[in-house]
Amino acid sequence: PRSVTEQSVSTMSLGGKDDYIYRAANQICKAQNSEANSDYEVAFAYYKSGVGILLHGVQGDTNKFRRDAVRRKTAKYLMKAEDLFNRHLAHENVGEMRWG
């Protein structure tokens, strides 16, 4: 079992559909589905959206344990998006900004 300091985001209390984690998870889920269907540009856009929601939301989160868990997840999704971009989109988007 995880300690309280290692609690995952999925086991934490969320504030419902308007909670930033819920909204970000929705975007990440769409990203994963798009990626599974080889729709890499759409997947990358959803990853960017999800990461943006997490980065913005974590700033106002008062729960330290949840903030730490969100930061870990955000780093994971950033790496996933970068990997997807490098493997499938980099050659198509030479000179374009990834995160802009």
Taking only the tens place, the pLDDT of each residue in 17-54 is 679 999 999 999 999 999 999 999 999 999 999 999 99
Find out whether 34 and 43 touch, Cβ atoms under 8 Å: yes
Please give the model's pTM, rounded to 2 decimal places. 0.78
Residues 6+ apart with CB under 8 A from 44: 31, 81, 84, 85, 89
* Domain 16-89 falls under CATH 1.20.58.80: yes
Please report, to the nearest 10 degrees, the dihedral formed by the alpha carbons of residues 29, 42, 93, 73 taken in order. Answer: -10
Burial class (CB in 10 A: 0-12, 13-18, 19+), 78: middle
pLDDT class for 65, splitting at 50, 70, 90?
very high
Domain boundaries, the chain: 16-89
What pLDDT does 5 receive? 45
Q: Return the ∠ at Cα 48 (arms to 9 and 95), rounded to 5°.
A: 150
